[in-house]
Structure 1
Amino acid sequence: VPQVTIIHGSCTAGGAYLPGLSDYVVLVRGRAKMFLAGPPLLKAATGEVATDEELGGADMHVTTPGTSEYIGENDRDAIRICRELMATLPWNEQLPVTLKPEYDEPLYSVDELAGVVPMDYRQPYDCREIIARIADGSVFFEFKEFYDSQTICGHSRIGGRPIGIIGNNGPINYKGATKAAQFIQLCCQSNTPLLYLQNTTGFMVGKDSEQNGIIKHGSKMIQAVSNASVPQITILVGGGFGAGNYGMCGRAYDPRLLFAWPSSRVAVMGGEQAAMVLDIVAREKAGRLGQGVDEEKLQKLSAYTIDRMTRESEPLYGTARLWDDGLIDPRDTRKILIQALEMFYEAGIRPLKPNSYGVARF
């Protein structure tokens, strides 16, 4: 597809190859700087002295090496040039004629999403309450409703587009993992995009879970997520802990889009649980060695662990590190999902033009 880059400021070292690999480059005069090494590094490496403009200024690039095709007088002008460029490309003319689907609004107000999920991820709620406020007509055709009540699966429509939804009403047990894995595969069979409403403490642990094959069945679910051939969207609405984050298509499993609510938390485990594990391990080690336990030291370790893991699991910490595609107002969830499904639909029907020569500028 055509790639357009606007450079508003510095673009240095490896970053300079991004516009270099773009089809069209727009630079802002007097502000854009594009070079492999800036003046300080150049002087340190070779002893040569040069200014920003001589090394990588906008005027230099459009007149001498031809690295850029266009130059704007300011940020606004550069964006105008980009828009005019896009208007010249017959991008949408290549799409087949399609009718926009008609759909009903949810029976329940999307504004109620601000209060459906407790800010404390440890408080339970029914994920169907979210679905009722994002699905067309609040219609949700539940899959295997009576097989497992902790992992909720079913078909719906959002913005007139079909979608399969998987949500959590608790930890993922062996039945829930099997149910979700089957549902994911069926959605791939019917080319139905998947939405994960993630709020889980992880896969269920304990003797009953292990003896019923939670590792085997959990692997089924993770394998289904990894190999899914349809677009996947994840909304972090509550907790996303441990391997449950994997099974519910967390960032490591590359959903096409992943958004977080302010109520979300993502970590290997909760801070309290991590502190308790470290406490137990330290006491058992001291017992094996026949040593006494330093209670004050353990209390400090627990307090530090809880504080650090709590801070690093918060949504602002994650979104600042690009672990999601945005921290969103829950009331905007339906609007964002409609836009995403339209984008996925268009991407699926848009004809692309592969080439064998890379960037024409070369």
Structure 2
Amino acid sequence: RIEARPPRYDAEELLGIMPMDHKRPVDMRQAIARFVDDSDFVEFGPDYGPATVCGQARIEGHAIGIITNNGPLDPAGANKATHFIHACCQSQTPLLYLNNTTGYMVGKAYEEAGMIKHGSKMIQAVTNATVPQITIYCGASFGAGNYGMCGRGFHPRFCFSWPNAKTAVMGGEQAAETMAIVAEAGAARKGKPMDPAKLQEMKSRIINVFDSQMDVFATSGRLLDDGVIDPRDTRAVLLNVLSICREAEARNPQKVQFSVARP
């Protein structure tokens, strides 16, 4: 640990940085600068897979590795995140995942570039990481991107959400388009063209259902996180949970070497 320094930028500005609309792009480095020591973030491989942001920072003097997203996860970004997780495990640096992704990239070009291989390497690294992992849903967290970014199913030590967060298998528009394709194909097989009005009604209904189910209070109510936090309290929350993680490591119980001796 080194001397702690407050961020150079006001945490109040987080309320204006993070959009409610997950389709609106945001530079997550701006968010990081509002809660880490001296707003200092040493980025890892900034020119390689730039949509995935990895780097080192400090919270009250304690080192922490941060992985976040400025868009979907692509092969290069997944590969970079994997290497960064390995490096943090070697240096025993806790990891913070700031979820802001609609998932892994899909399509022929990305599959030819090794999306499945590099994406699975990232998920394997998250699964096997030996350091404390903390997750905050800051924006979108959809599909396999939720897994790669240490979602609830991967048992991070702590998992929190900001009020604007959205968590789902996929976005409502994606689900609606997928179901529309299925419906049109089914109608074509029966030789009955799909009524455009009914198709639009179905899509609107699906979007409404998804939007209501991926709302942060709906997901938190289903215990998909440990609670919704005010973005301005992120630094204080991280300081608290990192302290708990350090205390847990110090209190690691020894394996019992003898049998039970009850009468």
Please name the residue that 2:61 is paired with. 160
**1:1-362 residue pairs with structure 2 within 5 A?**
102-350=3-251, 352=253
TM-score (norm 1): 0.69
Distance 1:322 1:179 in 2: 31
The alignment partner of 1:263 has SS state of: coil
Q: Which moved more, 1:197-206 or 1:340-349?
A: 340-349
Change (3 A) 1:139 1:358: farther
Deviation (angstroms), 1:341:
1.1
Change (3 A) 1:283 1:134: same
Deviation (angstroms), 1:356:
8.0
Change (3 A) 1:293 1:326: same
The alignment partner of 2:56 has SS state of: strand
Deviation (angstroms), 1:353:
5.8
Change (3 A) 1:358 1:157: farther
Change (3 A) 1:302 1:227: same
Please name the residue that 1:92 is paired with. none
Change (3 A) 1:359 1:334: farther
Distance 1:311 1:149 in 2: 32
Deviation (angstroms), 1:245:
0.5
TM-score (norm 2): 0.94
The alignment partner of 2:19 has SS state of: coil
Change (3 A) 1:354 1:220: closer
Distance 1:268 1:260 in 2: 16
Deviation (angstroms), 1:297:
3.2
Provide structure 2 residue ranges, at least 5 long, that are not aligned to the other structure.
none
Question: How big is each residue's C-alpha offset from its partner over 1:305-361, in whole Å with a ceiling of 9 and x where there is no partner?
Answer: 111111000000011111100101000001000111111112212353666899999
Distance 2:247 2:72 in 1: 35
Residue type matched to 2:52 in 1? Answer: T
Deviation (angstroms), 1:296:
3.8
Deviation (angstroms), 1:300:
2.8
Higher relative contact order (CA 8 A, sep 6+): 2
Distance 1:174 1:353 in 2: 41
Residue type matched to 1:241 in 2? Answer: F
Deviation (angstroms), 1:121:
1.1
Distance 2:261 2:176 in 1: 57
Provide structure 1 residue ranges, at least 5 long, that are not aligned to the other structure.
1-99
Q: Which moved more, 1:290-299 or 1:215-224?
A: 290-299
Q: Which moved more, 1:259-268 or 1:288-297?
A: 288-297
Distance 1:319 1:102 in 2: 35
Distance 1:160 1:148 in 2: 28
Percentage of identical aligned residues: 52
The alignment partner of 1:103 has SS state of: coil
The alignment partner of 1:198 has SS state of: strand
Residue type matched to 1:166 in 2? Answer: I
Change (3 A) 1:104 1:289: same
Change (3 A) 1:193 1:360: farther
Residue type matched to 1:329 in 2? Answer: D
